[in-house]
Amino acid sequence: MKVHSMAKWHWLEHVRDREQLLRLKVLANVPLFAGLSRRQLGKLLVKFFEKEYPSGETIFREGEPGKALFIVLTGRVSICRSLKKEEELLATLTAGGYFGELALIDDQPRFASVRALEPSVLLILYKSDFDDLIEGHRTLAIRVMGNLLKTLAAYVRRAQTQANGRNSMSPGRTSAPDQRTVTSEDVPRD
Amino acid sequence: MIEGEPEKVNGFGRSNSTGLMPPPSVIWALAIAFVTLIVYLSRGFVLLLFLSATIAYLLNPIVKVAEAAMIKRRVAVSVIYLGIGVAFLVTSYFVFPRLRAEVNTLSGNLPFFGQRFDEAVDVLQNEIVERYPAADGLFTTRELRYEKLNDFIEQQVADLPLLLGHLASIVLAGVLIPFFSFFFLRDSRKIVKFVLDRLPANHIETTVAVWCEIDRTVGRYLRGLAIEGIVVGVSAALGLTILGVNYPLLLGLVTGFANIVPYLGPIIGGATAVLVALIQFKSLTVIAQVVILYLSLKLLDLVAIQPLAVGKGNDLHPVLLIASIIVGEHALGIIGMIIAVPTITILQKIASLLLERRRYSSRMLHSRPKSDVQLQTYVC
């Protein structure tokens, strides 16, 4: 029995892709893909491209067309937004962090700029590849879209809260929050 | 995963490249012209690589399934090649003896081909004239036809050394293509990553977009074409066996391969079968049956096989499609006709994505594009 299990272990060791397993682990911890089975994550994983970014390299800039979702595999990236002449740091993401998810929904320009703070490896999922995948996998589509909607709902609530805060300070203003000010990157990911 | 709270930082300065550098469009045009020239000059080798990449494309979905199951890519590719090898051996054992017998019979009959063809045409002419006497004046005299046929055969015999030269290239290609395709398939991820890592970050999304579009369109087209070729070839072989036509396997093989060439391929396949049926039966009825079989196959192909197998893989305008085939034929012969469609599809996809990006950039200079979603004045 023991010999059999040892043989099995060795066999798996030679066949299993350890790098791919590490990527799968990272992907499994991404909130956007929460609830997906290992098999679904595997199907999703093969759609990703991988790229290394040297420290200081800009991944994309605010206003550029967005066509892909990015996931930090290793390293650290910063997300900033132009504010008049300065730039506001919105967040710093490490392994498992994701950004650019709104590109999976529409082709609007990027809300913020992203830069690698240290040598980083990112996984890139192109929108049409994602569309192709969800077209043939209903459960996967429902789960990911559900997670995406939860994220969007969080953006809206946050924007609403911020707008309410502003309204309470200036009683004359009653308009609804401007949804364009909601960034794809400022969602709380706890 | 998120570290730190919002704070003010400086950075993200876009470098202004002003100087003596020519505009990017000129650099791109020169690069494309240079690459085209290199490709044309080494077209034999490029063609070999193209065919290898085609095989890799056809097998890539199976590798992706294995990769999704966390199996090492090289293991998956090795197993697939082993499987293909076993399948080839099994096919060789069961099908090749029959195919070889057909080839041997055909080569044995080739010296009498002219005479038999001539006899068959005579019989057919008489049959037609008997049924429709008015058609008598439409046919050429036997002497003239014999002269033309002899010229044709002499030309083919003169080209035989050239054909043998090609045969050596074909054998070499038969060895090199599986070899190259194995490495293409095994290392395609590494190749893509190598290219992506060396590209400037601001081109990544467009490059990934172009690659994905090419992968989707061309991959679907090539896989569809392969499925279509196999289904049409097997159906033709079955149909010809039922009709009792000689060399059904060989003709099915020719039909399947010829089907790869758009428009002209089915005609070549059908004409070959008609020729064999004409020599064998010397009867208008069987020829009509063979023609009906090939027309039915074409109809089946258009109605069922193509929509299922190729799908929306090729959305080229028919004029562009035919023009590309003609240009391909002029540049690289029959192989050029086969690769014309995927090549023009790739170029069309690249051009449309680059134009889209250009349009987007110029629009961004003036105004931020608006979403087409109607927003409510409240959220609750």
Q: What are phi and psi of B178, to 5 degrees?
A: -60, -35
Q: Which of B18, B284, B369 is nearest to A63 (CA)?
A: B369
Is residue A63 within 8 A of residue A38, CB to CB? The reply is no
Query: Is there a contact between A177 and B216 if contact means CB atoms under 8 Å apart?
Result: no
Q: What is the pLDDT of residue B277?
A: 87
Q: Per the domain annotation, does B106 fall within a domain?
A: yes
Is residue B314 within 8 A of residue B217, CB to CB? The reply is yes
Q: Per the domain annotation, does B249 fall within a domain?
A: no
| Residue A96 one-letter amino acid | G
Pick from B2, B12, B201: which is nearest to A80 by CB?
A: B12
Query: Is there a contact between B2 and A189 if contact means CB atoms under 8 Å apart?
Result: yes
Partners of residue A50 on adjacent β-strands = A123
Q: The whole model's pTM is what?
A: 0.69
Q: Which of B294, B290, B292 is nearest to B245 (CA)?
A: B290
Rounded to a whole number of angstroms, the distance from the CA of B217 to the nearest CA of chain A is 12
Partners of residue B2 on adjacent β-strands = A93
With a pLDDT cut of 90, the percent of chain A lying above it is: 24
Residues of chain A found within 8 Å of residue B196, distances taken between Cβ atoms: 49-51
Q: Per the domain annotation, does B64 fall within a domain?
A: yes
DSSP B13: P
Q: What is the DSSP string of B81-134?
A: HHHHHHHHHHHHHHTHHHHHHHHHHHHHHGGGHHHHHHHHHHHHHHHHHHH-GG
The number of domains in chain B is: 1
B242-297: pLDDT as tens digits: 998 888 888 898 899 888 877 778 888 898 898 888 888 888 888 889 999 999 99
Domains (range + CATH), chain A = 17-170 (2.60.120.10)
Confidence of residue A176 (pLDDT cuts 50, 70, 90): very low
Q: What kind and span of H or E run contains A50?
A: strand A49-53
Q: What is the DSSP string of B118-132?
A: HHHHHHHHHHHHHH-
Query: Is there a contact between A128 and B7 if contact means CB atoms under 8 Å apart?
Result: no
Q: What is the pLDDT of residue B4?
A: 46
| Residue B60 one-letter amino acid | N
Q: Which of A85, A48, A60, A20 is nearest to A184 (CA)?
A: A60
Distance, CA of A18 to chain centre: 23
Handedness of CA B204, B49, B352, A125 (dihedral sign): negative
Write out chain B's pLDDT in tens, 380 residues.
455 444 444 444 444 445 567 777 788 788 888 888 887 777 778 878 888 888 888 888 899 999 999 899 999 999 999 999 999 899 888 887 887 787 777 777 766 776 777 777 777 777 777 777 776 666 666 677 667 767 776 776 666 666 666 677 777 888 888 899 999 889 988 888 888 888 887 778 878 888 887 777 777 777 888 888 899 999 999 999 999 888 888 889 889 988 887 777 888 889 889 888 888 888 888 888 999 999 999 888 888 877 776 655 556 677 777 788 788 878 777 777 777 877 887 788 778 777 777 776 666 655 555 556 666 666 66
Rounded to whole angstroms, the Cα distance separating B293 from B238 reads 10
Query: Is there a contact between A51 and B12 if contact means CB atoms under 8 Å apart?
Result: no
Q: What is the pLDDT of residue B132?
A: 76
- The two three-digit tokens of residue B160, written as one number: 């035989």
ipTM of this complex > 0.85? Answer: no
- Please tell me if residue B317 touches chain A, with a CB cutoff of 8 Å: no
Helix (H, G, I), strand (E, B) or coil at B230: helix
Q: Per the domain annotation, does B125 fall within a domain?
A: no
Rounded to the nearest integer, the mean pLDDT of chain A is: 80
Query: Is there a contact between B205 and A21 if contact means CB atoms under 8 Å apart?
Result: no
Domain that holds residue B177: 27-120+156-198
Q: Per the domain annotation, does B251 fall within a domain?
A: no
Pick from B12, B204, B371: which is nearest to A61 by CB?
A: B12
Pick from A42, A72, A113: which is nearest to B12 by CB?
A: A113
Quickly list H helices, A49-137: 127-136
Length of chain A: 190
A91-120: pLDDT as tens digits: 899 998 999 888 888 877 888 899 999 999
Q: Per the domain annotation, does B337 fall within a domain?
A: no
Q: What is the pLDDT of residue B122?
A: 76
